[in-house]
Structure 1
Amino acid sequence: MQKGDHLFLVDGSAYIFRAYHALPPLTRKSDGMPVGAVSGFCNMLWKLVEESRDTSVGVAPTHFAVIFDHSSTTFRNALYDGYKANRPAPPEDLRPQFGLIREAVRAFDLPCIEKEGFEADDLIATYARLAREAGGDVTIVSSDKDLMQLVGPGVILYDQMKDKRLGPEEVREKFGVYPEKMIDLQALVGDSSDNVPGIPGIGPKTAADLLETFGTLEALLERADEIKQAKRRESILANVDQARLSKRLVTLDQHTPLDVPLDDLFIHEPDGEKLVAFLKAMEFTTLTRRVAAKLGTDAADVAPAKVDAKAPARGPDLDPAAPAGDTQLAMSPKALAAERLAQAASQPVDRSAYVTIRDEATLERWIARAYETGILAFDTETTSLDAMKADLVGLSVAVSPGEAAYVPIAHVGEGAGDLLSGDEAKEGVGAQIPLGRVLDLLKPVLTDPAILKVGQNVKYDYLVMLRHGIALQPFDDTMLISYVLDASSSLEGHGMDELSERLLGHKPISYRELVGTGKAAKAIAACPIDKVTEYAAEDADVTLRLWRVLKPRLAAEGMISVYERLERPLVPVLARMEERGIRADRQILSRLSGRFALKAAGLEADIHILAGEPFNIGSPKQLGEILFGKLGLPGGKKTKTGQWATDAKLLEDLAAQGHDLPRRIVDWRQITKLKGTYTDALPVYMDEADRIHTSYSLASTTTGRLSSSEPNLQNIPVRTQEGREIRTAFVAAGGHKLLSADYSQIELRLLAHMAEIPQLVEAFQAGQDIHATTASEMFGVPVEGMPADVRRRAKAINFGIVYGISAFGLAAQLAIPQGEAASYIKRYFERFPGIRDFMDRTKSFAKETGYVETLFGRRAHYPDIRSSNPQVRAAVERAAINAPIQGTAADIIRRAMIRMEDALRAERLSARMLLQVHDELVFEVPDEEIEATIPVVKRVMEGAADPVVELVVPLVVDARAAGNWDEAH
Structure 2
Amino acid sequence: MAFGAGHHLQLIDGSGFIFRAFHALPPLTRKSDGLPVGAVSGFCNMIFKLVEDAKGPDAPTHVAVIFDHKGKTFRSDIYPEYKANRPPAPEDLVPQFGLIRDATRAFNLPCIEVEGFEADDIIATYARLAVEAGGRATVVSSDKDLMQLIRPGVDMIDPMKNRHIGPEQVEEKFGVGPERVIDVQSLAGDSVDNIPGAPGIGVKTAALLINEYGDLDALLERAEEIKQPKRRQTLIEKADQIRLSRDLVTLRTDTPLDRDLDSLEVRDPEPEAALGFLAEMEFRTLTKRIAEKLGAPMPEINDTPKALEDAGDGAAPEADPALTAAFEDAVYEKVTDAAGLQAWLDRITETGHVAVDTETTGLDEMRADLVGVCLSVAPGAACYVPLAHVDGEGSGDLFGGGERAAGQMDREEALAMLRPMLEDPAILKIGQNMKYDWKIFRRYGITVAPIDDTMLLSYAMHGGLHRHGMDELSERYLNHSPIPIKSLLGTGKSARTFDRVPVDEAVNYAAEDADITLRLWKMFKPQLHKAQVTRVYESMERPLIPVLADMEMRGVKVDRDHLSRMSNAFAQKMAGLEAEIQEKAGRSFNVGSPKQLGEILFDEMGLEGGKKGKTGAYATGADVLETLAAEGHEIPALVLDWRQMSKLKSTYTDALQDHINPDTGRVHTSYVISGANTGRLASTDPNLQNIPVRTEEGRRIREAFVAEEGNILLSLDYSQIELRILAHIADISALKEAFRDGLDIHAMTASEMFGVPIEGMDPMVRRQAKAINFGVIYGISAFGLANNLRIPRDEAKSFIDTYFERFPGIRTYMDRTVEEAKEKGYVETLFGRRIHTPQINAKGPHAGFARRAAINAPIQGTAADIIRRAMVRIPKMLAERELPGQMLLQVHDELIFEVPESAADALSDAVTEVMEGADLPVIKLDVPLTVDSGRGKNWAEAH
Give the TM bin, normalised by the shorter chain: 0.5 to 0.7
Distance 1:613 1:425 in 2: 54
CA displacement at 1:849 relative to structure 2: 2.1
2:546 aligns with: 572
1:171-190 equivalence runs, <5 A:
none
1:40 aligns with: none
Matched, 1:458 2:437: no
Structure 1 634/846 Cα, relative in aligned 2: closer, same or farther at 3 Å? farther
Structure 1 421/936 Cα, relative in aligned 2: closer, same or farther at 3 Å? closer
2:123 aligns with: none
Amino acid at match of 1:762: E
2:322 aligns with: 343
Distance 2:316 2:856 in 1: 31
Amino acid at match of 2:420: P
Structure 1 817/953 Cα, relative in aligned 2: closer, same or farther at 3 Å? same
Structure 1 335/716 Cα, relative in aligned 2: closer, same or farther at 3 Å? closer
1:400 aligns with: 378
Structure 1 343/735 Cα, relative in aligned 2: closer, same or farther at 3 Å? same
Distance 2:482 2:933 in 1: 48
CA displacement at 1:861 relative to structure 2: 2.0
Distance 1:514 1:622 in 2: 42
1:12 aligns with: none
Distance 1:473 1:646 in 2: 53
1:126-275 equivalence runs, <5 A:
none
Distance 1:335 1:726 in 2: 48
1:7-86 equivalence runs, <5 A:
none
2:352 aligns with: 374
Contact 2:439 2:549 in 1 (8 A): yes
2:770 aligns with: 795
CA displacement at 1:728 relative to structure 2: 0.6
Matched, 1:900 2:879: no
Distance 1:384 1:929 in 2: 38
1:863 aligns with: 838
1:418 aligns with: 395
Distance 1:812 1:631 in 2: 27
Percentage of matched positions with identical amino acids: 57
Distance 1:422 1:818 in 2: 60
Name the SS for the 1:913 alignment partner: strand
Matched, 1:781 2:759: no
Matched, 1:854 2:816: no
Amino acid at match of 1:379: D
Contact 2:396 2:402 in 1 (8 A): no
1:439 aligns with: 415
Contact 2:533 2:832 in 1 (8 A): yes
Return the TM-score normalized by structure 2.
0.65
Distance 1:628 1:376 in 2: 65
1:485 aligns with: 461
Alignment counterpart, residue 524 of structure 1, candidates 483, 498, 503: 498
Deviation digits for residues 524-564 of structure 1 (CA, Å, limit 9, x no counterpart): 21222111011100000011111112222212211111111
Name the SS for the 1:406 alignment partner: strand
Name the SS for the 1:908 alignment partner: coil
Return the TM-score normalized by structure 1.
0.63
Structure 1 422/439 Cα, relative in aligned 2: closer, same or farther at 3 Å? farther
1:467 aligns with: 443
Gaps of 5+ in 2: 1-311
CA displacement at 1:633 relative to structure 2: 5.3
Alignment counterpart, residue 694 of structure 2, candidates 699, 716, 719: 719
| Bigger mean CA deviation after superposition, 458-467 or 585-594 | 585-594
CA displacement at 1:578 relative to structure 2: 0.6
Contact 2:394 2:400 in 1 (8 A): no
Matched, 1:594 2:568: yes
Distance 1:813 1:658 in 2: 19
Alignment counterpart, residue 888 of structure 2, candidates 914, 917, 930: 914
Distance 1:359 1:703 in 2: 46
Alignment counterpart, residue 357 of structure 1, candidates 310, 314, 335: 335
| RMSD over equivalenced CA pairs, Å | 2.3
CA displacement at 1:737 relative to structure 2: 0.4
Name the SS for the 2:362 alignment partner: coil
Structure 1 953/633 Cα, relative in aligned 2: closer, same or farther at 3 Å? farther
Name the SS for the 1:863 alignment partner: coil
1:317-332 equivalence runs, <5 A:
none
Distance 2:840 2:340 in 1: 54
Name the SS for the 2:566 alignment partner: helix
Matched, 1:882 2:860: no
Q: How many residues align?
A: 632
Deviation digits for residues 113-150 of structure 1 (CA, Å, limit 9, x no counterpart): xxxxxxxxxxxxxxxxxxxxxxxxxxxxxxxxxxxxxx
Distance 2:892 2:484 in 1: 34
Name the SS for the 1:386 alignment partner: coil
Name the SS for the 2:887 alignment partner: strand
Distance 2:590 2:856 in 1: 39
Matched, 1:685 2:647: no
CA displacement at 1:472 relative to structure 2: 1.0
Deviation digits for residues 416-444 of structure 1 (CA, Å, limit 9, x no counterpart): 342338999956x3332221111111111
Alignment counterpart, residue 741 of structure 1, candidates 716, 721, 724: 716
Contact 1:694 1:710 in 2 (8 A): yes
CA displacement at 1:641 relative to structure 2: 3.0
Distance 2:904 2:339 in 1: 52
2:678 aligns with: 703
Name the SS for the 2:322 alignment partner: helix
Matched, 1:387 2:365: yes
Structure 1 929/569 Cα, relative in aligned 2: closer, same or farther at 3 Å? same
Matched, 1:936 2:913: no
Distance 2:695 2:792 in 1: 25
CA displacement at 1:476 relative to structure 2: 1.0
Structure 1 912/338 Cα, relative in aligned 2: closer, same or farther at 3 Å? closer
Distance 2:734 2:314 in 1: 48
CA displacement at 1:887 relative to structure 2: 1.2
Distance 2:490 2:528 in 1: 38
Matched, 1:497 2:484: no
Contact 1:341 1:503 in 2 (8 A): no
Distance 1:425 1:350 in 2: 34
Distance 1:633 1:863 in 2: 44
CA displacement at 1:486 relative to structure 2: 1.7
Distance 1:657 1:946 in 2: 53
Structure 1 608/817 Cα, relative in aligned 2: closer, same or farther at 3 Å? farther
Distance 1:504 1:855 in 2: 32
2:144 aligns with: none
Gaps of 5+ in 1: 1-332
Matched, 1:958 2:932: yes
Name the SS for the 1:953 alignment partner: coil
Amino acid at match of 2:331: A
CA displacement at 1:362 relative to structure 2: 1.1
Distance 1:851 1:673 in 2: 38
Contact 2:723 2:773 in 1 (8 A): yes
Alignment counterpart, residue 825 of structure 1, candidates 779, 800, 805: 800
Deviation digits for residues 633-654 of structure 1 (CA, Å, limit 9, x no counterpart): 5655443333333334444455
Distance 1:612 1:914 in 2: 51
CA displacement at 1:695 relative to structure 2: 0.8
Amino acid at match of 2:828: E
Name the SS for the 2:889 alignment partner: strand
Distance 2:823 2:692 in 1: 38
Distance 2:642 2:402 in 1: 55
Matched, 1:540 2:514: yes
Deviation digits for residues 151-174 of structure 1 (CA, Å, limit 9, x no counterpart): xxxxxxxxxxxxxxxxxxxxxxxx
2:231 aligns with: none
Structure 1 572/633 Cα, relative in aligned 2: closer, same or farther at 3 Å? farther
